[in-house]
Chain A
């Protein structure tokens, strides 16, 4: 009998898929959190990096939003299968966000690129995880 037909084997496959998804999501959320903190603590640095014209008063709120955005995804990070509806909404949302960054133009295109890379990666990994989780059931 193949490994995937066993309860232990299929659960292990699902756990491995979950670990891959969580790792990628952790990197993504950590980058957002760091960027958000930077925007709050050092708005002028961020403004310079993005070649924005001063004043940089709007950067702090954006940093706060980025932190909030990362925090809202923590339940998905903790257990994506129990928060699968938010996980799927977030998956679609990342593509939308990438589009918004792209429309902003300028140096934001680099953020759009970052967003699209993670959007594709996380969509692929959550698909693999959900399929593996499903295939660990009778």
Chain B
């Protein structure tokens, strides 16, 4: 295990103390080195490559691969240009022999629909009082950057899974059908190995949700909706009112998931579209254009292509910084969580030292990951199936959204989740207004990641928007996303909760009593699962009591602590090429000096006073018209 020399004592320290209790049950000064030890250990024990035959990659068509990101993510790693590119396979966080997908009857035991009905269905909205709904939209914004499994297999390619419906269930048809995941194209070395799946987005933290994962998609985004021509100065095409243009039906370049996203706002990834996600895309498209304006001051002769690519680099780094030092610490609102994430970016020497003197050392622990040497650790960089499973955080979404005025908080409209989604978004902008939407998201709470808090509207999600509700009922064109979440983890061989924890070097509960301290949940889980070993990962992580002040469980945190630093450490543009020479001096300063707070202030100045006194803009903002008070409107 080639752990770095300076990390070995931390690994030994963590191993020794973890026998007695997990890191979060030790005092701060002990838990911190334990976290360093956990990450160092996992980098060499929990990263596995599934690319048995490395995929082909395009010949480089750009002379600037050293200083700009390619559309498809290739050539980030110059030794392995295919690494992290679109259509590369998902990696794994558990040994490959543990990742064979489950098959019937085990695949359906217990029935995923029953898990959805009896353990996940939201009874009453459980909010997180110290967060706002930007947490949910940001999360989705990020996930769309990192991964998508793409289209499932069509029924003519493979029969869908059939989930029997129990008597008394209100699901409109029996059985419920779920399309199978599309496996990666088989390679010569694949027989006998677990099924692998491809990521149809770039794996890198490169803002591909904004810019797309193909050159054709990127060109669509750069097209001025007024003229139909590529914006000559490297900007993203926006409407005169500053909103994203709608995707036209005649444009033959699909989003990653195909053609069903026509007439939605045009961006790199517009699947699962709703107003919160649209707000994020709108803000960062505007930010891209601001950065272009700034770069033009220093480089008036630069081409539109050069300006676009530099602005993209800067936006991607700014988003990575926001996620690292604002979004994640909001969900891990404890000294340990904060120092873990802030030291990922600035190192233990801290922000002031880094900004004043730069790097003291190449060690990431001392001076942070950005600017440190690139390192892939045990496997080539890839998003993983286990990471995907841990980011199943749909309970963060409320079922209902109240829109209010940012001037006096008067009620404008209340909409259901379905009513704020898909093609309804432009109408909401017309009805409510962008600033009011931003204000409403900033003052509403997301749902807590606990059992019985899965949005019910996502448990009966209408498909095929051209059908009426009655037609859908007759044909069963609905999706129970909660049941699908359960099924997908089993199908893709993500270990169940106890085994998952063991594979991460954690203790596994031996009984239902050890699984959760909530007696009602314990009985409900017992009634559904024969043994604690059968409990699904999602159910276990939602039932588990997380570390103090954390918005998620320790189990998913272990994956995050590994993968959050890996997204930075593996990427050349965040490590060896994270320099003013590559980003330009202006771009470098833009990244250093900006945060989500400044992005919001720049693009929504009228709401800025409402988050002025909020420590983290992912915390609830002040209520308009009530001087000084802050908090979420329920």
Write the residues of chain A forming the contact surface with B, with a CB cutoff of 8 angstroms: 1-2, 4-10, 82, 84, 127, 130-131, 134-138
Q: At the interface, yes or no: B234 with Cβ under 8 Å from chain A?
A: no
Q: Mark B306-339, 1 if CB is under 8 A from A, else 0.
A: 0000000000000000000110011001010011
> Which of A1, A2, A5, A131 lies in contact with B335, CB distance below 8 A?
A131
B613 and A8 contacting across the interface, CB-CB below 8 Å:
yes
B329 and A138 contacting across the interface, CB-CB below 8 Å:
yes
Which of B242-250, B486-494, B538-546, B615-623 is the contact stretch? B615-623
> Which of B330, B338, B597, B619 lies in contact with A134, CB distance below 8 A?
B338
A127 and B619 contacting across the interface, CB-CB below 8 Å:
no
A138 and B616 contacting across the interface, CB-CB below 8 Å:
yes
A-B contact pairs, 22 of them (CB 8 A): A1-B130, A1-B614, A1-B622, A1-B630, A1-B632, A5-B614, A5-B615, A5-B619, A6-B630, A7-B615, A9-B613, A9-B615, A127-B29, A130-B335, A131-B335, A134-B335, A134-B339, A135-B333, A137-B338, A138-B325, A138-B330, A138-B617
Q: At the interface, yes or no: B299 with Cβ under 8 Å from chain A?
A: no
Write the residues of chain B forming the contact surface with A, with a CB cutoff of 8 angstroms: 28-29, 130, 325-326, 329-330, 333, 335, 338-339, 342, 350, 352, 595, 597, 612-617, 619-620, 622, 629-632
Say whether, besides A2-B130, A131-B28, A138-B326, A10 and B339 are in contact (CB < 8 Å).
no
B615 and A136 contacting across the interface, CB-CB below 8 Å:
yes
Say whether, besides A134-B335, A134-B339, A10 and B615 are in contact (CB < 8 Å).
yes
**In the docked arrangement, what's the CA distance between A138 and B619, Å?**
9
Q: Would you give the shortest CB distance from B608 to chain A, in whole angstroms?
A: 13
A137 and B352 contacting across the interface, CB-CB below 8 Å:
no
**In the docked arrangement, what's the CA distance between A135 and B339, Å?**
9
**In the docked arrangement, what's the CA distance between A2 and B619, Å?**
10
Count A-B contacts at CB 8 Å. Answer: 58
Q: Which residues of B contact A127 (CB under 8 A)?
A: 28-29
B619 and A1 contacting across the interface, CB-CB below 8 Å:
yes
A6 and B615 contacting across the interface, CB-CB below 8 Å:
yes
> Which of B352, B612, B617, B619 lies in contact with A82, CB distance below 8 A?
B352
Q: Which residues of A contact B619 (CB under 8 A)?
A: 1, 5
Q: Which residues of B contact A130 (CB under 8 A)?
A: 335
Q: Would you give the shortest CB distance from A138 to chain B, in whole angstroms?
A: 4
Q: Would you give the shortest CB distance from B566 to chain A, in whole angstroms?
A: 23
Q: Which residues of B contact A137 (CB under 8 A)?
A: 329, 338, 342, 615
**In the docked arrangement, what's the CA distance between A10 and B329, Å?**
15
Q: Which residues of A contact B597 (CB under 8 A)?
A: 138
Q: Which residues of B contact A82 (CB under 8 A)?
A: 352
Q: Which residues of A contact B325 (CB under 8 A)?
A: 138
**In the docked arrangement, what's the CA distance between A127 and B350, Å?**
16
Residue of B nearest to A5 (CB): B619
> Which of B29, B615, B622 lies in contact with A138, CB distance below 8 A?
B615
Q: A1-B130, A4-B615, A5-B630 are in contact. List 10 more A-B contacts (CB 8 A).
A: A1-B629, A5-B616, A7-B612, A131-B335, A136-B615, A137-B329, A138-B325, A138-B326, A138-B330, A138-B617
A1 and B620 contacting across the interface, CB-CB below 8 Å:
yes
Residue of A nearest to B353 (CB): A82
**In the docked arrangement, what's the CA distance between A130 and B28, Å?**
11
> Which of A6, A7, A84, A138 lies in contact with B595, CB distance below 8 A?
A138
Q: Which residues of A contact B631 (CB under 8 A)?
A: 1
Q: Would you give the shortest CB distance from A82 to chain B, in whole angstroms?
A: 7
Q: Would you give the shortest CB distance from A4 to chain B, in whole angstroms?
A: 8
Q: Which residues of B contact A10 (CB under 8 A)?
A: 615
**In the docked arrangement, what's the CA distance between A138 and B341, Å?**
11
**In the docked arrangement, what's the CA distance between A19 and B632, Å?**
32
**In the docked arrangement, what's the CA distance between A68 and B592, Å?**
39
Residue of B nearest to A2 (CB): B130
Q: Which residues of A contact B616 (CB under 8 A)?
A: 5, 138
Q: Which residues of B contact A9 (CB under 8 A)?
A: 613, 615
Say whether, besides A131-B335, A134-B338, A7 and B28 are in contact (CB < 8 Å).
no
Residue of A nearest to B352 (CB): A82
Residue of B nearest to A6 (CB): B613
Q: Which residues of A contact B612 (CB under 8 A)?
A: 7
Q: Would you give the shortest CB distance from A81 to chain B, in whole angstroms?
A: 9
Q: Which residues of A contact B629 (CB under 8 A)?
A: 1
Q: Which residues of B contact A136 (CB under 8 A)?
A: 615
Q: Which residues of A contact B330 (CB under 8 A)?
A: 138
Q: Would you give the shortest CB distance from B272 to chain A, in whole angstroms?
A: 27
Residue of A nearest to B620 (CB): A1
Say whether, besides A1-B620, A2-B130, A138-B326, A7 and B342 are in contact (CB < 8 Å).
no
Q: Would you give the shortest CB distance from B368 to chain A, in whole angstroms?
A: 15
Residue of A nearest to B330 (CB): A138
Residue of A nearest to B325 (CB): A138
Q: Which residues of A contact B620 (CB under 8 A)?
A: 1, 5
Residue of B nearest to A10 (CB): B615
Q: Would you give the shortest CB distance from A108 to chain B, in whole angstroms?
A: 29
**In the docked arrangement, what's the CA distance between A112 and B333, Å?**
38
Q: Would you give the shortest CB distance from A71 to chain B, in whole angstroms?
A: 24
Residue of A nearest to B322 (CB): A138
Q: Would you give the shortest CB distance from A101 to chain B, in whole angstroms?
A: 24
Q: Which residues of B contact A1 (CB under 8 A)?
A: 130, 614, 619-620, 622, 629-632
B613 and A7 contacting across the interface, CB-CB below 8 Å:
yes
Residue of A nearest to B351 (CB): A137
**In the docked arrangement, what's the CA distance between A136 and B338, Å?**
10
Q: Would you give the shortest CB distance from A127 to chain B, in whole angstroms?
A: 7
Q: Which residues of B contact A135 (CB under 8 A)?
A: 333, 335, 338
Q: Would you give the shortest CB distance from B618 to chain A, in whole angstroms?
A: 8
Q: Would you give the shortest CB distance from B338 to chain A, in whole angstroms?
A: 5
Q: Would you give the shortest CB distance from B102 to chain A, in whole angstroms?
A: 41
**In the docked arrangement, what's the CA distance between A69 and B418, Å?**
67
Q: Would you give the shortest CB distance from B134 to chain A, in whole angstroms?
A: 13
**In the docked arrangement, what's the CA distance between A134 and B352, Å?**
13
**In the docked arrangement, what's the CA distance between A9 and B612, Å?**
12
**In the docked arrangement, what's the CA distance between A41 and B358, Å?**
47
